């Protein structure tokens, strides 16, 4: 029975990564197209809204298998997305001040942000309250 639990955890992690990559690709394709058409400011806002919307659905329904996604869960998800964005921005700015290339910092931040995101979504945002 315990091996089923381990398999389920691994399956959840795999689904999280799969849907995360899909969300990343969709969001960045949209961003690239929008950057050709409108200002950077609006392009990034629109792509971030799309990212949060797709992620909320993918992670809530497909990864963590919740039947009902509600306003409270959405607020938690948006709060987490905001914290992750602030962390990413802050670390990029901090290390850039020490002379590290912004693109390099951004690449190295991805695994850290994915781990934080997964753990927070699993244990806070989409956590099921089992007795």
Query: What Å distances lie between residue 52 and 11, 13, 39, 114, 123, CA to CA?
Result: 22, 19, 20, 14, 18
Nearest CA to 63 out of 130, 111, 121 is that of: 121
For residue range 91-120, list pLDDT tens digits in order: 989 999 999 988 888 888 888 999 999 999
For residue range 45-95, list pLDDT tens digits in order: 998 999 999 999 999 999 999 988 999 999 999 999 999 989 988 998 999
For residue range 9-41, list pLDDT tens digits in order: 588 899 999 999 999 999 989 989 998 999 888
> Taking a C-beta distance cutoff of 8 angstroms, is the pair 58, 34 a contact?
no
């Amino acid at each position: 029975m315990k091996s089923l639990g381990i398999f389920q955890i691994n399956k959840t992690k795999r689904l999280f990564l799969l849907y995360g990559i899909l969300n990343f690709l969709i969001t960045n394709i949209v961003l690239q197209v929008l950057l050709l058409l409108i200002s950077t400011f609006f392009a990034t806002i629109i792509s971030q809204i799309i990212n949060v919307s797709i992620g909320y659905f993918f992670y809530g329904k497909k990864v963590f298998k919740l039947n009902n996604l509600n306003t409270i869960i959405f607020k938690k998800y948006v709060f987490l997305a905001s914290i992750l964005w602030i962390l990413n921005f802050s670390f990029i700015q901090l290390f850039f001040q020490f002379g590290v290339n912004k693109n390099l910092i951004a690449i190295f931040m991805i695994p850290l942000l994915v781990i934080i995101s997964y753990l927070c979504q699993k244990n806070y945002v989409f956590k099921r309250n089992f007795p």
